[in-house]
């Protein structure tokens, strides 16, 4: 059954169109997906309850704020409170967007001179009821931006996709996006290339570039990745199995790893930052000992998650990623190490906590 064609859905939509014509709110075409039609508040960009005297977005500078500009600043603080209740801390685009809104407010409003009469006037306007209405509008504004962004979501279908600095065929690549990584389409589309935006890691930074249209598809890359990994999960790992690497009985180097995180951990021992000498899974709150490692200097990187998939060589349900700041060294003076994996941001770890960095871990 095609629910989008259901008469009730069309009827509800036409009611919203009629309300829009009466300037009650600005309508978003939310029939796709149809369920958004019933998420009534998420389809509104403005709120009748806060239709107070007009606001004006301040311009950057040192000039005193006008009454309308001061009203925007005072209301924006309350809207940001509403947005904070909507932010999904597991979605890095939402964290970035919220931080950008705070940055805009601080740039335009902080340390600006005001007229006391204007300040008193705005304070009188902001009754408890009005403040709650403004707060609700902030939450709805953020919910709407989530809907708008999801409509532009794409993911990389190739093993690796080059991103270029322009649409020109002789332009230079600026980075690589890996399979299933997500980005968002912008309006540009030239010479079989599409303009996109994505987040770079640590700190989260918005970047833009151009990607060949044959290297991506519309949709949620994380859901596609999970489906693939689950379909290729394979048999469970044995308790002493190495995912990569072969220990040698002729070697006496030993590594003991305790996983102090709340999820399972997949650990890789790297030489020269890229060569994986050994990799293995340590269950949550468990300790594992690896014998027979060769001499050398190692970097320890790991990711957490649940449901390890052999086909993806990764967890189906991702957690976080991290790396030990200290390298472990095996030589004639040191042949045994014991390390503990902690949650990101713990002492001794460089937090990665970004799906893009998680993808880079998986590419090792």
Angle between helix 67-84 and helix 92-109 axes, rounded to 10 deg: 160
Task: Give pLDDT, residue 224.
Answer: 93
Task: Give pLDDT, residue 353.
Answer: 42
Task: Give pLDDT, residue 89.
Answer: 81
Task: Give pLDDT, residue 293.
Answer: 84
Do residues 310 and 335 touch, judged by C-beta distance below 8 A? no
Tens-digit pLDDT profile for residues 175-231 = 999 899 999 999 878 879 999 999 886 667 899 999 999 999 999 998 999 999 999
Domains for the chain: give ranges and CATH numbers: 45-150 (no CATH), 153-219 (2.30.30), 253-363 (2.60.40.10)
Task: Give pLDDT, residue 323.
Answer: 82
Tens-digit pLDDT profile for residues 295-323 = 888 888 898 999 999 999 999 998 888 88
Task: Give pLDDT, residue 356.
Answer: 53
Residue 125 CB neighbours (<10 A): 15
Task: Give pLDDT, residue 249.
Answer: 67
Task: Give pLDDT, residue 253.
Answer: 81
Q: Evaluate if pTM is beyond 0.75.
A: no
Residue 134 CB neighbours (<10 A): 22
Task: Give pLDDT, residue 16.
Answer: 47
Q: Per-residue pLDDT for the chain (364 aa), expressed as one digit of tens each?
A: 444 444 444 444 444 444 444 343 444 444 344 333 333 333 343 433 333 458 888 988 889 999 999 999 999 999 999 999 999 887 888 989 999 999 999 999 999 999 999 999 999 999 999 999 999 999 998 999 899 898 899 999 999 999 999 999 889 999 999 899 999 999 878 879 999 999 886 667 899 999 999 999 999 998 999 999 999 999 998 878 899 988 766 667 888 999 988 999 999 999 877 788 889 999 999 999 888 888 888 888 898 999 999 999 999 998 888 888 888 888 877 788 888 887 655 545 444 444 456 667 777 6
């Amino acid at each position: 059954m095609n629910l989008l064609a259901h008469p009730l859905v069309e009827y509800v939509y036409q009611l919203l169109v009629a309300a829009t014509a009466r300037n009650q709110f600005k309508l978003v075409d939310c029939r796709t997906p149809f369920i958004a039609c019933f998420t009534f508040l998420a389809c509104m960009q403005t709120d009748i309850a806060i239709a107070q005297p007009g606001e004006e977005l301040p311009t950057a500078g040192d000039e005193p704020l006008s009454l309308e500009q001061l009203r925007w600043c005072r209301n924006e603080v309350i809207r940001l409170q509403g947005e904070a209740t909507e932010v999904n801390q597991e979605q890095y685009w939402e964290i970035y967007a919220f931080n950008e809104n705070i940055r805009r407010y601080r740039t335009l409003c902080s340390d600006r001179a005001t007229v006391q009469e204007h300040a008193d006037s705005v304070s009188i306007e902001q009754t408890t009821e009005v403040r709650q209405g403004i707060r609700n509008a902030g939450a709805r504004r953020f919910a709407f931006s989530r809907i708008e962004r999801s409509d532009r979501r794409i993911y990389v279908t190739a093993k690796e996709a080059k991103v270029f600095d322009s649409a020109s065929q002789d332009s230079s690549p600026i980075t690589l996006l890996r399979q299933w990584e997500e980005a968002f389409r912008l309006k540009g589309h030239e010479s079989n290339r599409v303009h996109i935006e994505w987040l770079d890691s640590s700190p989260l930074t918005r970047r833009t570039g151009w990607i060949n249209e044959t290297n991506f598809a519309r949709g949620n890359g994380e859901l596609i990745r999970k489906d693939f990994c689950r379909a290729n999960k394979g048999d469970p790992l044995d308790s002493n199995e190495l995912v990569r690497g072969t220990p040698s009985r002729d070697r006496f180097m030993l590594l003991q790893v305790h996983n102090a995180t709340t999820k399972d951990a997949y650990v890789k021992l790297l030489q020269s930052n890229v060569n994986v000498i050994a990799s293995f899974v340590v269950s949550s709150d468990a300790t594992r000992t690896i014998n027979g490692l060769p001499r050398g200097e190692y970097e320890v990187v790991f990711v957490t998650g649940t449901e390890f998939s052999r086909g993806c060589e990764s967890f189906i349900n991702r957690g976080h990623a991290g790396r030990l700041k200290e390298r472990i060294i095996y030589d004639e003076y040191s042949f045994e190490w014991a390390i503990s994996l902690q949650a990101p941001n713990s002492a001794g770890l460089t937090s990665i906590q970004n799906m893009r960095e998680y993808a880079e871990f998986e590419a090792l």
